[in-house]
Structure 1
Amino acid sequence: MNPIIPPSGRNIGFVGTRFAGTDGVSLEAAKWAKVLWDHRHVSHWYAGKLDTDPAVSMLVPHAWFGHPDIDWISERAFGAVRRDPEVTRRIFALAEHLKRTLYEFVERFSIDIMVVQNALCIPMNIPLGVAISMFCAETNFPTIAHHHDFYWERDRFSVNCVGDLLRMAFPCTVPSIQHVTINSEGQRSLSHRRGASSVLVPNVLNFETEPPGIDDFNRDFRQAIGIEPDDILFLQPTRVVPRKGIEHSINLIKALENPRCKLVISHESGDEGHAYRDSLQELAEQQGVDLRYVPTRIGEERGYNEQGEKIFLLADAYAHADFITYPSLYEGFGNALLEAFYYRKPVLVNRYSIYVTDIEPRGFDVVAMNGYLTREVVQGVQRVITDHAYRDAMVAKNYELGRRFFGYALLRRKLRALITNVTGADEL
């Protein structure tokens, strides 16, 4: 199946396990679709969970990695070294079903180019990865595979009985697939492990549009979460999982010895349990740190809950924040760091590996720590929250660097090259 590409206005088919909510993959896919739409390309969506327009979408329940049939396979594929024949049978039966739906998706929406979002690198849904690989092998279909993280980067996938399938499909390296990685380490490891070249496309934000600020709806955000107008709001804009290093944020507030400093955590614990959250709460109490955990007041849309309380956007929290804490131990890229630059907020960064290789060399002005808090780090934060001229110069510089190196202009250039490789015409 080699589609005839029309002269303009391509139909782009985004394929993944989920395009819904605020996970990193869904957000980056939406940014790609926005830039493509600006240049007349129409996006269509295929996944097991969707909050996209049904008119341009195809919902396939077994594409969702949380489907019971997919869970059954994953439970038996990882943490074991011997594969039951029934696991093999189910994988290929579901892969065949999903492959048929891919053919249907491409035909229904006259797809010209397929963009696979993370489904060919992280084996959350093995049958889907196998199905996409077989589809591409059978059709030589023009495909861009956007890899956010690879299975070999995750301990949970290291012991498995599906190594043959992982080598086949995660990622598949048939000639019709162009590979995209989001950081230089992923680019190097893909080349080393699979002999495949890739285009490096970092995560981006729309620095061409000014960030929203304080308005009539969010003006009472501080009051709503119990923060006083003259308090110094330290925002931890992440999920509560151990790799986020939130204990460093608590220790920072303690070290500042200022009762006006309050730490606000914006997100839920996620699917990794609540033990870490509980340990943070206990640490904050021991340290005498005012910790506010407010995920129930921050959602995907503004509105009101059943109690009549306002539900704010994460952007509203950024608008009111005085300082951003981002002491992560590891990140695939670091969207919250880009958000801090975008919303013109000073930020504490733990120098995780991708920050050191892909972000720090651009010259951003942050308060940086190397795995632990030092007196110099605390003094750096103290200067930022007390010296307003210094702070203003810092955030203005970071915004400009973000616009140059991680803005939509960069994404536009990268997508232009990827699309041109398929069409032979410069369309972006």
Structure 2
Amino acid sequence: MEKWKRVLEDMGHRVYYLAGSLGEQDGIVIEELHYQHPVNHQFVANAYEKLADYADAESFRDDVLAFAARTEAALCLAIDRYRLDVLVPNNIWSLGWGLPAAIAFAEAARKKNITCVAHNHDFHWERSRYGNPTNIYVSEWLRRYFPPALPRASHAVINKIAQDELHKRTGLQSVVVPNVFDFSTPAWTVDEYNGDFRQAIGVKDSDILILQATRIAERKAIELAIDLAAELGKPNHLSRLRDKPLYDGRRMVEDGEIVLVLAGLPESSDWYREGLVRRAEKKHVKLLHVNDRIEATRLTRGGRKMYSLWDAYVHADLITYPSVLEGWGNQFLEGLFAKKPMVVYEYPVYGTDIKPCGFDIVSLGDTHRVDADGFVSVERDVIERAARESLRYLLDGDFRHAATERNFRLGERHFSFDVLKTILSRWF
């Protein structure tokens, strides 16, 4: 939404954030919209798990509608006070989490006859959590409001798969608005601040730093990155890496290692994180969790220097992006901008929305298995091929430069702020 706001402001519009909480941002606060509102937590539990806090479905319905009416009143007040012309509900009408919020936005839009552009990332039918409502009222709300068919509402989705499914399920037309990146921003480079990043996290200059920049979550399939690192660490590959200078002139001397660095926030279950550690130990892969040194921006906390995620990208020799499920893929755009070679599992949306652009990647294929413990694997020959292709990016500077520059230009052409501006111009 920050990207939409920036582009809309560049187009001359006055834009307000409207949310249950705003952090350090300015905007309009409606407390009932807070994602973690305790009342909404109760609604979610009773709507999708068990109707435990109400005598019957009717009393549950009445509570939800009363909360929705409060939210609607606050929303109508904001529309009048700030003279709003357009509402951009962000996942309000798609996910199924905020039942009263969805009702409130739809009814306020009808009452005020205001234009809406719904920005839908994740639909309720994509999540098992919302698949078995506890009563008929929840089912009806999901059908009626997620998303609603309003005469002045347009719908934006983030990939072609969602676009097709939305039309099939509801008959609603939508426009694909992909994730974008500001390709005009200054390049990330080694500078005085981040020059010691490797040293700070325990990676030597002679090491190959493989960066997994995503959050740590099961669907990110980080185990595939471990498998790739293990393959690159085999003697035959190490000998090639040590025989001659790397792409940037460094030498991977005898003490050089393949190091997999996890920079993202841990959001997975404990068993998954512990399983990753066990897998790395079993395969003799050096695995570093460095999120405790990463912040949204550079800062010092308690006398300890913190780095941005962009600082981690600067020092990466190779990026892994092995997710088996993504709504789109922000980290892929970051890798394009950073001009780093990427090892990618071709998840479904990659195949429909990104691959046709013709990016140069190291592919982990588009077929995987999930074992009894919930961990992902691909065929042995896929990992071996990916390692061989990765070696070329690590050893051939000219090849690496040409491929990453081409990827940058393709990203700029297809997924820049200018592209977003062109799309948004149809509504604003």
**CA displacement at 1:115 relative to structure 2:** 0.9
Residue in 2 that maps onto 1:350: 345
1:96 and 1:153 mapped to 2: Cα distance? Answer: 28
**CA displacement at 1:401 relative to structure 2:** 0.3
Q: Does 1:47 align with 2:44?
A: no
1:333-362: CA deviation from partner (whole Å, max 9, x where unpaired)? 011011101111100110100000110011
Residue in 2 that maps onto 1:400: 409
Of 124, 136, 141, the match for 1:151? 124
Q: Does 1:75 align with 2:71?
A: no
Residue in 2 that maps onto 1:9: none
Residue in 1 that maps onto 2:197: 221
Of 303, 306, 314, the match for 1:311? 306
**CA displacement at 1:58 relative to structure 2:** 1.6
* 2:344–2:363 Cα contact (<8 Å) kept: yes
Residue in 1 that maps onto 2:375: none
1:377 and 1:301 mapped to 2: Cα distance? Answer: 33
Matches within 5 A, 1:18-417: 29-54=1-26, 57-80=27-50, 84-161=57-134, 162-257=138-233, 258=238, 260-270=257-267, 272-306=268-302, 308-370=303-365, 371=368, 372=378, 373-417=382-426
2:5 and 2:178 mapped to 1: Cα distance? Answer: 15
Residue in 2 that maps onto 1:422: none
One-letter amino acid of the counterpart of residue 119, structure 2: H
Give the SS at the match of 1:92.
Answer: helix
Residue in 1 that maps onto 2:248: none
Give the SS at the match of 1:412.
Answer: helix
* 2:51–2:57 Cα contact (<8 Å) kept: no
1:193 and 1:286 mapped to 2: Cα distance? Answer: 46
2:319 and 2:289 mapped to 1: Cα distance? Answer: 15
1:235-260: CA deviation from partner (whole Å, max 9, x where unpaired)? 10111111000000011111111452
* 1:81–1:159 Cα contact (<8 Å) kept: no
* 1:178–1:198 Cα contact (<8 Å) kept: yes
Report sequence identity in percent.
34
* 2:228–2:383 Cα contact (<8 Å) kept: no
One-letter amino acid of the counterpart of residue 342, structure 2: V
1:225 and 1:89 mapped to 2: Cα distance? Answer: 54
* 1:113–1:144 Cα contact (<8 Å) kept: yes
- How does the TM-score come out when normalised to structure 2? 0.88
* Aligned residues: CA RMSD: 1.5
**CA displacement at 1:274 relative to structure 2:** 2.2
Give the length in aligned residue pairs.
Answer: 387
2:50 and 2:168 mapped to 1: Cα distance? Answer: 26
- Which one is further off, 365-374 or 194-203? 365-374
One-letter amino acid of the counterpart of residue 29, structure 2: L
* 1:146–1:179 Cα contact (<8 Å) kept: yes
* 1:140–1:175 Cα contact (<8 Å) kept: no
**CA displacement at 1:106 relative to structure 2:** 1.1
Give the SS at the match of 1:417.
Answer: coil
2:281 and 2:28 mapped to 1: Cα distance? Answer: 48
**CA displacement at 1:154 relative to structure 2:** 1.1
1:374 and 1:276 mapped to 2: Cα distance? Answer: 21
- Which one is further off, 79-88 or 108-117? 79-88
Give the SS at the match of 2:312.
Answer: helix
Residue in 1 that maps onto 2:374: none
Give the SS at the match of 2:106.
Answer: helix
* 1:184–1:358 Cα contact (<8 Å) kept: yes
2:329 and 2:25 mapped to 1: Cα distance? Answer: 28
**CA displacement at 1:80 relative to structure 2:** 4.7
Residue in 2 that maps onto 1:26: none
**CA displacement at 1:52 relative to structure 2:** 4.9
Give the SS at the match of 1:116.
Answer: coil
2:63 and 2:132 mapped to 1: Cα distance? Answer: 20
Tell which structure's C-alpha radius of gyration is larger.
2
Unaligned runs of 5+ in 1: 1-28, 420-428
1:58-78: CA deviation from partner (whole Å, max 9, x where unpaired)? 222221121111101101111
Unaligned runs of 5+ in 2: 239-255, 369-377
**CA displacement at 1:123 relative to structure 2:** 1.5
> Aligned in 2, Cα 1:175/1:45: closer, same or farther, shift over 3 Å?
same
1:108-155: CA deviation from partner (whole Å, max 9, x where unpaired)? 211111111111101221110111111122222111001111111111
Give the SS at the match of 1:179.
Answer: strand
* 2:227–2:383 Cα contact (<8 Å) kept: no
One-letter amino acid of the counterpart of residue 128, structure 1: A
2:25 and 2:262 mapped to 1: Cα distance? Answer: 31
Give the SS at the match of 1:49.
Answer: coil
* 1:64–1:125 Cα contact (<8 Å) kept: no
1:203-229: CA deviation from partner (whole Å, max 9, x where unpaired)? 100112332212211111111111112
1:46 and 1:230 mapped to 2: Cα distance? Answer: 48
**CA displacement at 1:88 relative to structure 2:** 1.2
